[in-house]
Amino acid sequence: MSTPPTDNNQYDFAFRGAGGNTIIRLGEDVIKHAVDNKRLKEQYTKIISLRQAGWESENCKLVNVNSWDESSGSYQMPYIYGMDILSYCTLRGPTDIQCLINHIIDTVISHCQNHSQPIKQNILNKLDGLQPKTNLSLKWIQDIVVKEPEIYIPVGLCHGDMTAVNMIIDNDSPKVTFIDSTLSYIESPLMDIIKFRQDTHFGWLFNQYMGPDVDVTKCKLAIIYIDQLVDYRIKQYNLMGYQYYPLLQAINLARIDPFITRTADKEWIQISMEKCKNLWKQH
């Protein structure tokens, strides 16, 4: 869902999805179906629970979802007029981009509670259950985690799927609406940063983009700037567990691997996993 349709701009959905969902626009509404009804219902329930728990901020909102339709395995939401993040990077300057990212990071950080949760066993359990389709080796992650006495990250509300695909930016202000959410194997604000940097650090959003023409060079520079800003803000806040970013990002990549089918995406995930491994060696 992107900018209001005009004679020259008919791009309703700017990114391709990897989860097998079908999204249909009907006038001012959108209906979302899925092959995996259980997973889609979990997404729907998570959006409702986040709103009730007060996840939203003045500048970061969640889409309003209507009741779940059990018979069709779908839910309805309003069509939102706005921009995808690459269109925003093309049309806006550094000040607006910085303001947008600060709004997102401020919202995430605001949910970090003053106590932590141990996640070493969660990670080992997740690694045991992952079954990548591509030739990804996860043993290096397991070897590192096993040697750690424990791994702690902050407790707090977690959006769960904080990627560019799920962001619609207001046409007139640096505010964002998130149109999706999902359960995370670890519920923590840190996991939202991991997911966001899947796009900003590793460029997954460029693989998925199918929206209007954008200034690719400007966008790539903007995304590098965004990632540097995110990294700086999180380090400035001294977010607990952030030193494990390369490991957590590698697991995140392994989690999306089963959903990818295109050759280019398979190559991307291999390269990105190797980057994670090298980042850990350097940290």
The predicted-structure confidence for 167-204, as pLDDT tens digits, reads as follows 999 999 999 999 889 888 999 999 999 999 999 999 99
- Indicate whether 41 and 149 sit together in one domain: no
The pLDDT of residue 24: 84
The pLDDT of residue 35: 72
Q: Which of 4-13, 15-24, 38-47, 208-217 has the highest mean pLDDT?
A: 38-47
- Indicate whether 33 and 129 sit together in one domain: no
Burial-class residue 147 by CB neighbours within 10 Å (0-12, 13-18, 19+). exposed
- Indicate whether 141 and 47 sit together in one domain: no
- Cα(188)–Cα(111) distance, integer angstroms: 9
- Indicate whether 73 and 130 sit together in one domain: no
Asked if pLDDT for residue 82 goes beyond 60, the answer is yes
Strands 116-118 and 60-62: unpaired
- Of the pLDDT bands very low, low, confident and very high (cuts 50, 70, 90), residue 16 is low
Buried b (16+ CB within 10 A) or exposed e, 208-233: bbebbebeeeebeebbebbbebbbeb
What does the pLDDT average to over 234-255?
96
- Indicate whether 73 and 194 sit together in one domain: no
Asked if pLDDT for residue 138 goes beyond 90, the answer is yes
- Indicate whether 90 and 34 sit together in one domain: no
- Cα(24)–Cα(219) distance, integer angstroms: 28
What does the pLDDT average to over 6-19?
48
Enclosing H/E stretch for 23: strand 21-26
The pLDDT of residue 2: 41
What does the pLDDT average to over 112-119?
93
Strands 176-178 and 60-62: parallel
pLDDT in tens, 265-278: 999 999 999 999 99
Backbone torsions φ then ψ of 227, nearest 5 degrees = -65, -40
The pLDDT of residue 204: 94
The pLDDT of residue 6: 37
Domain that holds residue 50: 21-78
- Indicate whether 73 and 168 sit together in one domain: no
Percent of the chain with pLDDT over 70: 93
- Of the pLDDT bands very low, low, confident and very high (cuts 50, 70, 90), residue 33 is confident
The pLDDT of residue 19: 58
Q: What is the mean pLDDT of the chain?
A: 89
Q: Cβ(198)–Cβ(253) under 8 Å?
A: yes
Q: Cβ(230)–Cβ(200) under 8 Å?
A: yes
- Cα(75)–Cα(44) distance, integer angstroms: 7
Q: Is 185 within a domain?
A: yes
Burial-class residue 138 by CB neighbours within 10 Å (0-12, 13-18, 19+). middle
Q: Is 3 within a domain?
A: no
- Indicate whether 59 and 89 sit together in one domain: no
pLDDT in tens, 184-194: 899 999 999 99
What does the pLDDT average to over 15-27?
70
